[in-house]
Amino acid sequence: MSSYEIVKVDDIHTHLLPKEWPALEGIEMEIHPIKGDEHGPDDFVARLLWKDGRLYRNIKANCFDVDVVLSECDQFGVDVQVVCTVPVMFNYHLSPTIGMEWAKFLNDDLGSTVNKRKDRMACFGTLPMQCPEEAVKEMKRCVLDLGMRGFQIGSHINAYNSRTGVENIMLSDKRYMPIWETAKDLGVGIFVHPWNMEWCDPKYWLPWLVGMPAESSLAVCSVLLGGVIDKVPGIKMMFAHSAGSFPSTLGRVDWGYRSRPDLVAMDCKKSPSQYIRDGAIYIDSICHDKVMLKYLVGLFGADRIAMGSDYPFPLGEVPSVAPVTNEVLTAYPGELIETSEDLDDEIKDKLLCSTALDFLGMKRTDFEYSKKKLVKIGRSLPTL
């Protein structure tokens, strides 16, 4: 156990659902409570169903009950959670009018929940990216009226278009420049989460294992090669799941930048690796591998990596029991960082706390843990 004393972890990547939501036109997802005698051994309390009755996911109370969430945070040693909606709730395909109504509902619900526990929580709002003009208005409302510290968006936007139906729009699209400029002006960050992996073969859970990392890489490349950082210097953008497959393919992308500048370097001023060296983007820590984490720290720097667990989902850094094998996975948020022998205590402090606060534009004294005695790195594993 290290003798270096730090505040406990800040988890910058967690998800929270509303307990219920309105049946607006175009909303295909429904939540259905499970009766007490139907919960079963896994303690599922609700089902997320598509309107046609197909099951999307069974969920536990920690998906929407803040009391349960904070109780588990206490078990894990997590002092602050940054929560955002589940990407399936984005609904960018909605018409701009309904999309704005939907975003306002999600933000009001999340903002109200978090503001009741702002000693332990912060949140990222959601935006109607199908209508940038309305998204800018919602950004200002959420920051100025609801106190939000950033916004979660998808790795690409499958946006409604009245002439062509739905079109896929990349984050480099010039229509989104007002959103990036507004985020910088407001001093808040953009958290980019992979989603909409329908292009990926569904067998073997490949959308989550291959599709998500690919989507994160797509988003990073779109932002860097699209010149977003050049046009809005100082904008804070963080990419979930450790930027997916981007770090391991950076050499290839860089080589493409050099060998075919006519195709790759059209809209950016620097090579992708130079942007990374300059600290242009942030990532979260969830990569499930100590060797990879060490590589990421060397590549991005500890001041650009924040602990993120993807709580409460089983692919995240959380305890769970595997179906079929019944293997007990005893992970807890921040374990990968805390138990990495190759990282010194100063680096761990940045990964577990300081970088998240920097991205949020907040201070340790903004939260409850500043009033508590500091705790040492190296906690025992929580019980399930």
* 313 has pLDDT over 90: yes
- The model's pLDDT over 346-374, given as tens digits with 9 standing for 90+, comes to 999 999 999 999 999 998 888 876 544 34
Instruction: Compute CA distances 213 → 267, 286, 309, 342, 358, whole Å.
Output: 24, 11, 15, 25, 25
Q: What is the mean pLDDT of residues 30-42?
A: 71
List Cβ neighbours of 132 (8 Å cut-off, separation of 6 or more).
Answer: 175, 176, 178, 179
Contact call for residues 14 and 311 (beta carbons, < 8 A): yes
DSSP state letters, 113-175 = HHHTTTTTEEE-EE--TT-HHHHHHHHHHHHHHH---EEEEESSEEEEETTTEEEEE-TT-GG
* 55 has pLDDT over 50: yes
* 7 has pLDDT over 80: no
Q: What is the mean pLDDT of residues 52-79?
A: 92
* Mean of per-residue pLDDT scores for the chain: 91
Beta-strand ranges (E) seen in the chain are 5-6, 9-15, 29-33, 46-50, 55-59, 78-84, 121-123, 125-126, 150-154, 157-161, 165-169, 189-193, 237-239, 282-284, 305-306, 320-321, 328-329, 375-376
* 381 has pLDDT over 50: no
Contact call for residues 75 and 56 (beta carbons, < 8 A): no
According to the model, what pLDDT value does residue 2 have?
A: 43
Most confidently modeled range among 229-238, 327-336, 370-379: 229-238
Q: What is the mean pLDDT of residues 246-268?
A: 97
Q: What is the mean pLDDT of residues 19-35?
A: 90
Percent of residues, the chain, with pLDDT higher than 90: 81
Spell out the domain ranges in the chain.
5-27+62-376
Q: Is 304 exposed, middle or buried (0-12, 13-18, 19+ CB in 10 A)?
A: buried
Residue 325 zone, left/alpha/beta (φ > 0; ψ -120 to 50; rest): alpha
pLDDT tier, 377 (very low <50, low <70, confident <90, very high otherwise): very low
pLDDT tier, 279 (very low <50, low <70, confident <90, very high otherwise): very high
Q: What is the mean pLDDT of residues 326-332?
A: 92
The Cβ of residue 201 has, within 10 Å, a number of other Cβ atoms equal to 10
List Cβ neighbours of 6 (8 Å cut-off, separation of 6 or more).
Answer: 345, 348, 349, 352, 353, 374, 375, 376, 377
According to the model, what pLDDT value does residue 380 have?
A: 42
According to the model, what pLDDT value does residue 374 have?
A: 40
- The model's pLDDT over 136-175, given as tens digits with 9 standing for 90+, comes to 999 999 999 999 999 999 999 998 776 777 889 999 999 9
The Cβ of residue 58 has, within 10 Å, a number of other Cβ atoms equal to 17
Q: What CATH code is assigned to 5-27+62-376?
A: 3.20.20.140
